[in-house]
Chain A
């Protein structure tokens, strides 16, 4: 196993697996967030469960944070290695003639998503940790919906979130299908995986945009 992760194929595998893990998490995150549009009570119930269940808090959350950190650090390491593999750059390089802009700029879309995550943590995770572990306030199972809506009262924040979701979509459209190639999925499924990749990569970030915009308009 040590040999796998020392090889370039192994590093790709690690990148793919951590990416697929985050893709699954994103779907779960979207489903819970979407309940805020349907019924605040359902959203509060889900959020209360996620925020207080010991399995989620002390096992799944650290695994998620580790997965996020690993994916980003590995992405930077691979990009640095790739840049080193061509020390003298081309004077004329026409990447657009043979590959998509999205596939060539995963590091840029990744950096935007990373910056967004810093804002997202500042918006939701940091206050949550302060509420529970620093201020040690009594748990109120009905507070989550109000906290969510409050954040989306600011049009600048809604705009930043929507732009970030566009970059997330660009990252997912290539990353989703590419992950399956990296783990060596049978080529007969390549067509269907590419289709799912497009639908997932566009619909989920679009859904997140919708949630942010919906709550903004619901408050004005």
Chain B
């Protein structure tokens, strides 16, 4: 396959970036998108250029590192996949592909396609945990009976890999889907209920401080989420947040 790539190049956070055109040939439809980027970078290096910086780690859809915005969508045109799981067979010979970083004020570009998603870490640190005393005699979690429906919903929420596609796809750059998943994965379970009031208050406060936009329920985040996290978690977090404010 021969492809025409339009890639966002940006030297560092403070520099102004721009789209740079590349042509690449001999791409196999069986390659992953990141492998295609590897081939491109080898070509750039051989020509003495600066390779395109992009995030990647596990390359199996688990870590959530790869964060490219491909042809107007986070992780490209396929559904329920991350960029590393996107295959070149989704494109046609001669296609032009736009590759940009995830864009949001809260995700500043570090270089080229690499963005700083530490805002998500700070939200998580604000309450995305349970306090467990490990020094004494902790109770085995499996000994606590949990109804199937709650366990399933908690597990579905916990599949969020924090990739940031929800923010990238949202026209408002809202992080509500991420935060609601992280709140709900705990609050559905008895271990998480104990701190649920503080958790939702603190995580929402941190989310607002990070400068994400306001959710307008367009549903783009759910569609683009590689794990298909449901919008229902946002509705549930709205309710949980309002109740927490009344309680405290």
Contacts and interface: CB of A to CB of B under 8 A. Distances in A.
A184 B201 CA distance: 15
Mostly, the A contact residues are helix
B172 A82 contact: yes
Given A4-B245, A85-B172, A86-B213, A104 B218 contact: yes
Contacts of A182: 217, 238
Contacts, number: 143
B238 A12 contact: yes
B213 A81 contact: yes
Contact of B216 (A4, A93, A106, A186): A106
Given A7-B204, A90-B69, A85 B220 contact: no
Interface residues on B, range: 35 or more
Mostly, the B contact residues are mixed
Contacts of B224: 98
Interface in A68-109: 78, 81-82, 84-95, 97-100, 103-104, 106
Of the candidates A98, A103, A104, the one having the most CB atoms from chain B within 10 angstroms of its own CB is: A98
Of the candidates A4, A8, A13, A100, the one having the most CB atoms from chain B within 10 angstroms of its own CB is: A8
Nearest to A78: B214
B156 interface: no
B82 interface: no
B72 A190 contact: no
A36 to B, nearest CB: 35
A137 B172 CA distance: 51
A184 B219 CA distance: 15
B215 A100 contact: no
A29 to B, nearest CB: 25
Contact of B8 (A91, A174, A177, A190): A91
Interface of B: 6, 8, 17, 19, 69, 71-73, 77, 98, 100, 103-106, 109, 169, 171-174, 176, 201, 204-205, 207-208, 211-220, 223-224, 231-232, 234-242, 245
Given A82-B172, A82-B213, A184-B236, 5 more contacts: A82-B216, A86-B213, A97-B223, A98-B219, A100-B218
Interface of A: 1, 3-4, 7-13, 78, 81-82, 84-95, 97-100, 103-104, 106, 174, 177-178, 181-187, 190
